[in-house]
């Protein structure tokens, strides 16, 4: 069995959709355009999900730069929290 390093897995996700869970109450789904060794990421066509008192609030962003220090989890091909709740 071959070993896959974390940065190799993220590299394979460039050009595809990715679900990013932040350390805060935010989650993002978008197309991964690039990243660096600190897992700072550039996403395009982004949907942002934020947990609020009234439930999940969504907003759209054309492009966003994420700081790797604020990322908790990455889900390649993930669709975000709304798709998970409907299942």
Q: How far apart are the first and last CA of the chain?
A: 33
The residue with tokens 């390649």 is: 76
pLDDT in tens, 16-62: 999 999 999 899 999 999 999 999 999 999 999 998 888 899 999 99
Which region among 4-8, 35-39, 71-75 has the lowest average model confidence (pLDDT)?
Answer: 4-8
How far is residue 18 from each of residues 2, 29, 52, 55, measured CA to CA in Å? 23, 6, 22, 22
Phi, psi of 10 (to 5 degrees): -65, -40
Domain positions in the chain are 11-76
User: pLDDT confidence of 82, banded at 50, 70, 90?
Assistant: low
User: pLDDT confidence of 4, banded at 50, 70, 90?
Assistant: confident
Is the per-residue pLDDT at 86 higher than 70? no
Written as six digits, the tokens of 16 are: 């595809």
- Domain 11-76 top-level CATH class: mainly beta
Residue 2: predicted pLDDT = 81
Measured at the CA of 54, the angle between CA 20 and CA 77, to 5 degrees, comes to 20
């Amino acid at each position: 069995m071959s070993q896959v390093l974390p940065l190799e897995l993220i590299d394979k996700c460039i050009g595809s959709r990715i679900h990013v869970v932040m350390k805060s109450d935010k989650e993002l789904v978008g197309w991964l355009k690039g990243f660096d060794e600190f897992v700072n990421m550039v996403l395009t066509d982004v949907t942002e999900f934020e947990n609020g008192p009234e439930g999940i609030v969504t907003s759209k962003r054309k492009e966003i730069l994420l700081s790797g220090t604020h990322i908790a989890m990455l889900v390649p091909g993930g669709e975000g929290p709304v798709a998970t709740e409907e299942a």
